[in-house]
Structure 1
């Protein structure tokens, strides 16, 4: 099946009792046992499994070309499940530009439990220099948040697998519509389903996908069940519903982002634009080699000036809402350095944009008047 067909059918099941075309929401936390103690339909307790969650996990696994998926209550919970599944003392390598929530989680909650380094994983010499005997995982995020840096997944996988190291990829910015890391050799894929999967800024979740049910995956499943950080049946239902339009939404986001990036790149008050679809992007060739059909709806740009200049632009915008998060149908923008805190490495004149599905002429006109006011 093509990805559009998978998105519509792999998360759906006709209800056996009512013949309802759409799977009902099963809110029950517990399920009836037989006299002998068995469970006729395999469901025991909603923390362990729920019909709506199983459909969500099925459709996402198929969208990413995996064999199984595990859904969580947030993207951070999904990432944490991976780190919790590692043996204490394990060394992990992460990218130097990485979603600050997960980076801070590793540095704070796993300090003294795991060893970690955040480096330019695309620099082969640097990567090789940081691999240790106890390195068991390389975490990549491509395109990255907020600098839109690309990681050559194939190259990192080749280095890692030669040394028995697994590679996990945060694919949130790209989505499986534009990039499928498992097909490039990655061992795990993560999404914050809060973002493009949900697509409407009204639910929270995360998910992991695997190409094989190995020992690490079994430990992740154990963390999911025993830890219980799972999405509600209602959230799973709405995620499955939103996923049906994901391929079409992503193409709209990317088309708008490409045009906005091209406009910003030529604007005299813009210092630089970070978007993988621009030929000027330093890793555009990597993007072309491992992304298909589009380059995300996310972009960042630096205004000519300082943090105050960037915030002046924010104050003038009408169709871009100043807010954290991304992936909704509405355009969002934020001064990223002030969100990330005092240890941020993000330029203070940088604005991160989640380009929505409004008409591109309106978005460009709004940006034009805002930049013209500084």
Structure 2
């Protein structure tokens, strides 16, 4: 996650409002094999948790936790698994068989226009915890969704599948372009890196790899030059039908960049949410911004 959920809850003062005591929850930062090994060892030694929260994939490193193993651990040690699949989207991935609860920000790609907010919670009917979770949610649920927001959300989402397909295709093309450039050290994308095989296990037959990627450059100056020259909208949202870029660490972790860097988030990382622009147009803008990194290198030389 971009920020530990416990820290987010603490900042917004929600600790006592959640339905489950958060001191007995677990937030693996990457869901790596090592983290899951450590979690299993601690559970076997007597650690007691009620909920494990995860993302598929994570933001901004786009890693995918091993849901099959997490599901097995949850069955063995009797805890709830909550998965946020906003960045993967339910068109691309099917996480429900391996978790108890799926949460999605409908504000993102489901809407796509950045003009309405919403979210969804899906409880797995086959979960051993279904009765408890469903009854609790039913008891605290209030229908307070503004009617015009519901109308806007329904209208925006009418072409959801087509937008996801285009974003999937565009993000693959952009990732390929970026990985081949000498100024780029690393591109974080679900199709790349060590957790691709984990993502592929839950990817639907016709699903893709989503709309989000992040870039780390060899030189911080190149990251700055690229971002400044990048002719895309700039802002902190994701999933919009127009591409959107931010200097991720600077916005999300301004007061804690050292902590973020320790956890793998380069302080000069550029995150791009890929939109539905024509592929040639989008690639052209990326190439033009990359040319500025070359100019930076020539000036430096």
TM-score bracket for the superposition, by shorter chain length: 0.7 to 0.9
Equivalent of 2:275 in 344, 353, 356: 356
SS at match of 2:289: helix
For the 8 Å contact 2:26–2:52, the answer to whether it is kept is: no
Deviation of the 1:102 alpha carbon? 4.1
* CA shift for structure 1 position 348: 1.1
Name the residue aligned to 1:105.
8
Aligned pairs for 1:114-133 within 5 A: 114-115=22-23, 116-119=25-28, 120-123=30-33, 124-131=36-43, 133=47
Residue matched to 1:288:
200
Are 1:327 and 2:246 an aligned pair? no
Q: 1 CA distance for matches of 2:239 and 2:252? A: 19
Question: Aligned residue for 1:218?
Answer: 135
Q: Which residue of 1 aligns with 2:106?
A: 193
What secondary structure sits across from 2:167 in the alignment? Answer: helix
Segment drifting more, 127-136 vs 343-352: 127-136
1:233 counterpart (124, 139, 147): 147
The CA distance in 2 between the partners of 1:311 and 1:217, in whole Å, is: 48
Answering whether residue 183 of structure 2 is matched by residue 269 of structure 1, we say: yes
2:83 to 169, 176, 182: 169
Structure 1 unaligned residues grouped into runs of 5+ = 1-97
**Unpaired stretches in structure 2, ≥5 consecutive residues:** 294-301
Offset of residue 241 of structure 1 = 2.4
For residue 343 of structure 1, report the CA deviation from its aligned partner.
2.4
Who wins on radius of gyration, i.e. which is larger? Answer: 1
Check whether the contact 2:112–2:239 (CA below 8 A) recurs between aligned residues: yes
Aligned equivalents of 2:289 and 2:270: distance in 1? 13
Describe the SS at the equivalent of 2:91. helix
Count, aligned residues: 269
Deviation track 1:328-360 (CA, whole Å, cap 9, x = no partner) reads 110001011011222241211211110001111
Deviates more, 1:335-344 or 1:255-264: 335-344
On the 8 A contact 2:6/2:22 being kept in 1, the answer is no
What is aligned with 2:92? 178
- Aligned counterparts, 1:1-374, within 5 A: 98-100=1-3, 102-108=5-11, 109=13, 114-115=22-23, 116-119=25-28, 120-123=30-33, 124-131=36-43, 133-183=47-97, 185-212=98-125, 213-225=130-142, 230-278=144-192, 281-292=193-204, 293-306=207-220, 308-318=221-231, 320-341=232-253, 342-344=255-257, 345=260, 346-374=265-293
* 1:188–1:209 contact (8 Å) kept in structure 2: yes
Which whole-Å CA distance do the structure 2 matches of 1:328 and 1:190 have between them? 19
Bigger CA drift: 267-276 or 132-141?
132-141
Q: How far off its partner does 1:264 sit?
A: 0.3
Deviations 1:255-277 (A, max 9, x none): 00001000100011111111112
CA contact (8 A) 1:271 1:303 kept: yes
1:270-294 Cα offsets, whole Å, 9 max, x none, are 111111123xx11111122111220
Is the contact between residue 117 and residue 130 of structure 1 (CA under 8 Å) also seen in structure 2? no
Q: Deviations over 1:168-197 (max 9, x none)?
A: 1000001110112113x2100011111011
RMSD: 2.0
SS at match of 1:214: helix
Cα deviation, 1:298-342, whole Å, max 9, x if unaligned, reads: 111112212x54232221111x21111111110001011011222
Supply the distance in 1 between the matched residues of 2:7 and 2:116 (Cα, whole angstroms). 23
Q: Give the 4+ runs in structure 1 shifted more than 4 A.
A: 110-113
Change in 2 beyond 3 A, CA 1:101/1:333: farther
CA distance in 1 between counterparts of 2:4 and 2:154 reads 25
What is the CA–CA distance in structure 1 between the aligned matches of 2:40 and 2:155, rounded to whole Å? 43
